[in-house]
Amino acid sequence: MIEFIEEEHLYLCDGIIIPSVSEILHFIFPDKYKNVDEQTLQKKAVYGSKVHEAIECLEQSKTLPELDENQKFSIRQWQYLKEKYNISVIIQEQMIHYGDNYAGRFDMVANIDGYLSLCDIKTTATLDKEYLSWQLSFYELANESIYHSRFEKLYAIWLPKRNCGQLIEIERKSRNELLDVLRKFKESRKEVE
């Protein structure tokens, strides 16, 4: 059984703490945010979380949270992309795990132009496709281990401030690449212990 403790951002599998997909991504990209101060990172995280929350509310026909003008623009871009690519949301914010190896929460599974797709919503100024390739591929590996099926496509739903939103297909990593990184990640954690 998988549990998530939000205050500490911890995943538990049968009561034992397991790594998050974010921890594995930090292992792969240790310097990704090294030149960005903590206050800026926090501000961007709050902004992105608010856009995610608003999309979730829209899809569940709930009242939207209070949004600033940039966030409202991002939501209009989401609505534009949804119509343009015939996006039908199936599930949002789903917790997933790969045994007791790692856990995470993906943003969305949707039918996009007839393809069952795993999606991540990004509000960043630039889109890091390599980072997203690893992120979505780890989610897909976990999903496949539970449901024994793969997604037809992986997508970024990119909603940057003051720019037109884009739907961008993301290349998946192979199972061997994922398992190799997972092995190296586990070895690095043993060295620290």
pLDDT at 7: 84
Dist CA 94 CA 148 (whole Å): 16
Domains of the chain with CATH codes = 20-192 (3.40.1350.10)
Backbone dihedral angles phi then psi of residue 161, each to the nearest 5 degrees: -60, 135
Under the banding of pLDDT at 50, 70 and 90, the label for residue 171 is very high
Question: 166 vs 125, which has greater pLDDT?
Answer: 166
The pLDDT, as a whole number, for residue 192 is: 63
Pairing between β-strand 153-158 and β-strand 115-122 as defined by DSSP bridges: parallel
pLDDT digits (tens, 9 = 90+) for 84-143: 999 999 999 999 999 999 999 999 999 999 999 999 999 998 999 999 999 999 999 999
Mean pLDDT within 24-31: 93
Average pLDDT over residues 172-176: 97
What confidence tier does 17 reach under pLDDT thresholds 50, 70, 90? very high
Mean pLDDT of 23-47: 87
Contact between 108 and 121 (Cβ < 8 Å): yes
- For 4-13, the pLDDT digits (tens) are 988 888 999 8
Tokens at residue 123, please?
Answer: 């509000």
